[in-house]
Amino acid sequence: MKKKKRLFRQLYPSYLLIIFISLTAVSWYASDAMRSFFFAQTADVLETRTKLLESRIIKHLSPLNEKSIDLACKEIGRISATRITVVLPSGKVIGDSEEDPRSMDNHSDRKEVRTAISGNIGNSIRFSRTLQQKMMYVAVPLIKDNKILGILRASIPVTYVDNALKSIQRKIVLGGLLIALFAAIISLFVARRISRPLEEIKKGAVRFAEGDLTHRLPVPDTEEVGALGEAMNQMAAQLNSRIKTAIRQKNELETVLSSMLEGVIAVDMDERIISINQVAAKMFNDEPEKFQGQSIQEAIRVSRLQRFIKKALLSIESIIEDDIVLSHDEERILNIHSSPLQDAKKKRIGILVVINDVTKLRRLENVRRDFVANVSHEIKTPLTAIKGFVETLHDGTVEKPEDIERFFGIIIKHINRLDAIVEDLLTLSKIEREDTGKEIKFETGYIKDVIETAIQVCQAKADKKNIHIESVCEKEITARIDPALLDQAIVNILDNAIKYSEKESAVYVECSSREKEIIISIKDQGIGIPKEHLPRIFERFYRVDKARSRKLGGTGLGLAIVKHIVQAHGGRIDVESTPGKGSTFTIHLPRL
C-alpha cells in the first residue's frame, strides 16, 4: 500500500516549487532582456562609429586607394579601440585595423556583409577565427551617387558584455536566493499554520479510533476547521455514551454466557451464528471470534447438528432436544436442546441452542450398567453351582463318599471364587476411596526392591510351568510410591503373564529412568490380545476369552486394580500386544 504524505509535506514543497519556478523564470527573463539590451546598445555604438568614419573612408574609394584605406583603418582602430574593416562589394577586404588585408579571406559570405551589400545595415555576433574570440559586427554600406562603393564594418569583442552580464546574473541569483529564503520562511509559517490544526484534529481522531473518546479536540480560529473540530467532539461524546451502553450490555451478556458450563449458540433464521460462548467454541475446537457471522454449514461441519438446527428453525414447538455424537479425536456425546429466540416485539429471529457434554455421564451410565450386569453374572455363576450341589447333598441322593467329597470340592472352589471376587472388589473400592481422599501414604522407595518382591511372590507359579522371569533394573531408580500397592499391581500383571504364557517360555521385567518419568515394562511370550480388545482390557470384569479366564481362576478385576493403582501414583499404563507373540504392559510413573 502506498504510504500517504502529510499535508505539511504536500503544502510546503509546493510553495517552494512555485517560488523556485517564479524566481527562475524572472531571472531568466531579466538576464535575457539585459543581454538583448546590452547587445542593442553595443550595436548602436558601433553603428554611430561607422557613421562618423564614413566620410573619411568614402573619399578613398573613388578613386580607389587601398593603401590609404588600410592606413586609415589601422589609425582609427588604434584610437577608438575598435576593429575597423573595409570590404568591397565583391567581398574583398581592402583595409583592416588588426590584420593585413591581403591575408584575409573573402567576406562576401559574412552575414553582416551580405546585409550591407543589399543596402541595409547588417549586424551579427559570432566567433572570429582571426582574433579567436567572440565579436559583435556592424556593417554599413558606403554609398555615393546611389552606388555602393564598399562596406564599412566595425566590430568589438563582446567578452566585456558577457562579463558584465555574469556579474549582474550573480547579483540576481544572490538576490533571488535571499528572496527565496525569505519566501521559504514565510511559506513554512503559512504551511504550518494551515496544517497544524489539521494535524491536531488527526491526532485526536487517532485517539478516538484507539478508544479514547473522552479526549476533546482543540477548536481553531478558522471557521471551517473549527466547525470540523466541534463536530468531531460532539461525535466522540455521543459515541462514548453509546459504546459504554453497548459494552455494559455486552459484558453482562458475556458474563452470563461465560459463567455457564453449557455451550450456547444463538442462530438467526438464515442459519447464521449470532453469538457463541467460549464453551461451545471449545467443543468444536476453535475460538468464538472465528464463528461470528458464519453459517452453521461453514462454521461447524457436524451434519447431525446442522440437521437439528434446521429442524428447530422450522419447528413450531418451543423446545426440541436430541443427542449427537462427535467422533473427531475421541468420541464425545453432546446433549442439545433449542428454544426460540425473540426480539423486543416478540418476533422470532432465530433459536438459542444449549449444548451439554454428557460423554462422561453416558459412559458412567454404561460402566455402571455393565458393572452391575457383570458383577451379577460373576456372582450368580458360582452361587448357582453352590446352590445346585448343596441341594443335591441335602436331598441325600448322593451316597458314595467319593462323590460327596468331589461335590464338596466343587463347592469350596466356587466359594473361593466368590471370596476372590469380593476381595478384589473391596481392594478396588479401597484404592478408589483412598485416591479420592488422598489418603494413600507415599514414600520414596527403590523400584528394584518392589520388582524383586513381586517376582518372589510369582516365582512358585512360574516354576510350575518352567517359565523363566528375567528382570533388569538399576538399583538407584527411586520414586514416590506406596510399595504395597505398586507391588500388588506388578504381581497382577506378572500373574497374568504367567497364566497366559506357554510352558518353558520367558517373562521380562525391565525398569528404566528417563527425563520426566520412570518406565516399568513387563513383557511375556503368551497368547497375546487381539487389537479390538486392547481399549477395554482395563475395564472391570472385561475378559478377552471368558471361558479360559474363568478356567484359570481370574476374577476379571486384576487389570482394573492395576490401572487404579497406577493412576493413584499419578502415572498411566499402556499395553501393546500381538496375538500369538505376546503382550507388553508398560507402567509410566512420574520422576521425583
Within 8 A by CB and 6+ apart from 393, the residues are: 404, 407, 408
Give the per-residue pLDDT at 132.
73
Q: Determine whether domain 260-357 maps to CATH 3.30.450.20.
A: yes
* Per-residue pLDDT tens over the stretch 418-476: 666 666 666 666 666 655 445 577 888 899 998 998 889 889 889 999 999 999 998 88
- Bin 93: left if φ > 0, else alpha if -120 < ψ < 50, else beta: beta
Instruction: Locate 455 and state its grid cell.
Output: 517376582
The CATH code of domain 9-164 reads 3.30.450.20
Instruction: Locate 260 and state its grid cell.
Output: 455457564
Q: How far is CA 386 from CA 14, 199, 217, 370, 423, in A?
A: 112, 99, 96, 24, 19
| Architecture category of domain 363-431 in CATH | Orthogonal Bundle (1.10)
Q: Which residue type occupies 424?
A: D
**CA–CA gap between residue 44 and residue 49 (Å, rounded):** 9
Give the per-residue pLDDT at 19.
73
The answer to whether 9-164 and 260-357 have equal CATH topology is yes
pTM check: above 0.85: no
The segments of the chain whose pLDDT lies below 70 read: 1-12, 15, 130-131, 160, 191, 194-195, 221, 223-224, 257-259, 328-330, 364-382, 389, 398-399, 414, 416-439, 540-556
Q: Work out the angle at residue 555's Cα, subtended by the Cα atoms of residues 554 and 557, and round it to the nearest 5 degrees.
A: 115
**CA–CA gap between residue 183 and residue 21 (Å, rounded):** 13
**CA–CA gap between residue 205 and residue 228 (Å, rounded):** 11
Give the per-residue pLDDT at 586.
92
Is the CB of residue 439 less than 8 Å from the CB of residue 482?
Answer: no
**CA–CA gap between residue 231 and residue 241 (Å, rounded):** 16
Q: How far is CA 463 from CA 431, 457, 467, 492, 510, in A?
A: 31, 11, 6, 17, 20
113 CB burial (10 A radius; 0-12, 13-18, 19+)? buried
Helices 7-58, 159-209: inter-axial angle, 10-degree rounding: 170
* Per-residue pLDDT tens over the stretch 499-549: 888 888 999 999 998 888 999 999 998 888 888 888 878 776 666 655 444
Domain locations along the chain = 9-164, 260-357, 363-431, 440-590
Homologous superfamily of 440-590 in CATH? Histidine kinase-like ATPase, C-terminal domain (3.30.565.10)
Give the per-residue pLDDT at 241.
81
Give the per-residue pLDDT at 536.
78
Within 8 A by CB and 6+ apart from 7, the residues are: 194, 195, 198, 199
- Bin 267: left if φ > 0, else alpha if -120 < ψ < 50, else beta: beta
DSSP state of 295: B
